[in-house]
Structure 1
Amino acid sequence: MNAPVLVTGLPRSGTSWAGKMLTAGGGLVYVNEPLNPQHPPGRCPGVLRAEVTHRFQYICDDNATDFLPAFRDTVALRYHWLPELRANHSPYDLARLARYGTAFALGRLTGRRALLDDPFAVLSAGWFARRLGCAVIVLVRDPVSFAASWRRLGWRFDVRDLLGQPLLVRDHPGLLDLRPLLGCADDLATTAALWRAARSVLAATPGVLVTSYESLAEDPVTGFKALYAHAGLPWTPSAERRIVRACTTPSRRSAAFAWSGLSRTAFRPMDSRHAVATAARGLTAQEAARVRALTA
């Protein structure tokens, strides 16, 4: 099986963790969030030569004129050096250009496949499976843990990100139920609505493997062995050792993740079981119960 791999799911559902664990076997080139409309990591024409206009960009056959050839280049590991250099030339951008350009070139030479880690592709997962032949893995997180993680990071969801995409609403008219939340400042209500909307779209999406973040974290060896099989990747002793080390690292803090570097959301080695046990921190019992009710 030589298909590219897409790991998706709403942001803070463990996609970067799962993506990094899938690359532990050495057969994949990791590509981070090409559909993220924020730069970085998105808006990088070297990686994806297409204009992303929305968070959670919906791609279907009716708007794929630009996206299909662009993603064909991405999954074929064809890097666009000059467009990237013209668009992004800060020191950070140049370092990123060198890293991705080299990784793409070496990946082609060694016969590796692309792995797209992109939570912003979650609503388009079916298109990636059907038109690009991706082996699609979708992570779904418990709604209380999901809402708590967004609150800790101070993130907010604006329903206009979905309602402002006519093709998405056309194909999933149930999303019109989100209209009462336009302009809503209630973070738990909007985060719960995003969780419900994603589950609704995924329920109507064939050809993807939906897996629980919590079950994967509780038993990473068994879980990732199954994901390797789904992606057509060989499960090797080396991959297993790397995954065990990455998922059983005791935390220096009670928060399971020790933040470092520029990004607060990228994967760090962790004790994955501890991460599940402490995932709802930041919400009161009443708030957790409310999220349960809103996502029931």
Structure 2
Amino acid sequence: MDAPAKTILVTGSHRSGTTWVGKVLATAPQTAYVHEPFNVIHPCELTSLRMQYWYQRLNGGPDHPDWQEFHDLLSFRWNSPKLAWSDLLHPRTALRKLRTKRRRTRLCDRCRQIVLKDPIALLSTEWLAENFGVQPVIMIRHPAAFASSLQLKGWTFDFQNLLEQPEAIEEFFPEEREAIEQQSEQGHDDLIGEGAFLWRLLHKVILEFRRRHPEWIYLRHEDVSRHPAEEFPRLFDRVGLPYTSRTDDFLRQTSTSTDPHIPGVSTSIHNVVRNSAANINVWQQRLTEEEVERIRRITGSTADAFYRNEDWQIAHGSSPFQSRVSRVREAHLCDNN
């Protein structure tokens, strides 16, 4: 088999469209989709990597304890399920392991390039680029959409994950240390404020990367959702992947729903059929005007680097106030990360 081509890393913040973009890219010939080796709770089964922190920052070279594991992962040297004697008592388990092993072997044989989807790898993007030559595609999403999505799902963030990484604080958030400590002590009663503050931190990292690495690809979720048929061919061209009819078919299936008012209907976090255009401003139906103003105040100049005044306007006909019935209904709609 030829040497693997350069890995494409799709990262950014969580809830920013990384799954959708990563899976679209992985429709290109001879590509394999690898999911979130930095995930603390659900680590990638293809590797023995185990992260201690959410948004862990890695540094150093081949002497780093995780270097070899990443090298193997990005070189298609993947873990395979091992059969144990106890599996003889559970034929279905043994059959599932054998099928998984055969599927991974076929992928390794026919694929030459990995699309690594992992928003949690954001703070280690430079490390992955310097050590393994990955090509970053960094996703950005409107702060109101991000905070609204976290509130809808009830997702919280323990800021001790950052405070226990002093090198990450020193590099990316030296002026935010006290604010991070205060946020860490507040608990999780204010999901809107917490989400807006987390957005500010993560996008300060993206701003710093944009300053250091203007050659990397930075893609707003809203732009690719509004015009997927135009934006994805351009993205494929920039990362050097062929855009085929298979990609076109997959894009139509995952960016168009029959109901223009439904942003996305999902059976799981990683499987979504969406109306990508309707998905852009769904936060306008979820948030009150006061919540939107508060998010803008918290995200401040960091948000101004990515979004203009008109991007914060609530469209005509979008009510900023919702009944409890509407919010419960929307709990079944997922604007997938």
Q: What TM-score comes out, normalization by structure 1 length?
A: 0.86
Identify the residue that residue 274 of structure 1 maps to in structure 2. Answer: 278
2:10 is the alignment partner of 1:3: no
Among 205, 208, 212, which residue is 1:204 paired with?
A: 208
- 1:117 aligned partner, one-letter code: K
CA offset digits 1:206-230 (Å, max 9, x no partner): 2531110000000012211122122
2:264 is the alignment partner of 1:257: yes
Deviation for aligned residue 1:180? 2.2
SS at 1:241 equivalent: helix
In 2, Cα distance between the equivalents of 1:146 and 1:76? 33
Query: Rg larger in 1 or in 2?
Result: 2
- 2:229 aligned partner, one-letter code: V
CA offset digits 1:78-106 (Å, max 9, x no partner): 11226x779xx999998986676444422
Is 1:257–1:269's contact at 8 Å kept on the other side of the alignment?
yes
- 1:122 aligned partner, one-letter code: L
Identify the residue that residue 48 of structure 2 maps to in structure 1. Answer: 49
Is 2:264–2:276's contact at 8 Å kept on the other side of the alignment?
no
Identify the residue that residue 198 of structure 2 maps to in structure 1. Answer: 194
2:299 is the alignment partner of 1:292: no
In structure 2, relative to structure 1, the CA distance for the partners of 1:38 and 1:198 (3 Å cut) is same
In 1, Cα distance between the equivalents of 2:240 and 2:17? 21
Identify the residue that residue 330 of structure 2 maps to in structure 1. Answer: none
Percent of counterpart pairs with the same letter? 26
Among 213, 219, 227, which residue is 2:227 paired with?
A: 219
- 1:107 aligned partner, one-letter code: L
In structure 2, relative to structure 1, the CA distance for the partners of 1:102 and 1:248 (3 Å cut) is same
Identify the residue that residue 34 of structure 1 maps to in structure 2. Answer: 37
SS at 1:138 equivalent: strand
Unaligned regions of 5+ residues in structure 2, if any? 301-337
CA offset digits 1:149-175 (Å, max 9, x no partner): 000000112221211112212322234
- 1:130 aligned partner, one-letter code: E
In 2, Cα distance between the equivalents of 1:119 and 1:231? 18
Matched residue pairs, number? 285
In 2, Cα distance between the equivalents of 1:58 and 1:92? 39
2:241 is the alignment partner of 1:245: no
In structure 2, relative to structure 1, the CA distance for the partners of 1:238 and 1:73 (3 Å cut) is same
CA offset digits 1:237-259 (Å, max 9, x no partner): 332232133212324x9442223
Is 2:262–2:274's contact at 8 Å kept on the other side of the alignment?
no
- 2:57 aligned partner, one-letter code: Y
Is 2:145–2:283's contact at 8 Å kept on the other side of the alignment?
yes
SS at 2:250 equivalent: helix
- 2:11 aligned partner, one-letter code: T
Root-mean-square deviation (CA), in Å? 2.8
Identify the residue that residue 174 of structure 1 maps to in structure 2. Answer: 175
- 2:79 aligned partner, one-letter code: H
In 1, Cα distance between the equivalents of 2:293 and 2:25? 34
Is 1:32–1:116's contact at 8 Å kept on the other side of the alignment?
yes
In 2, Cα distance between the equivalents of 1:120 and 1:174? 22
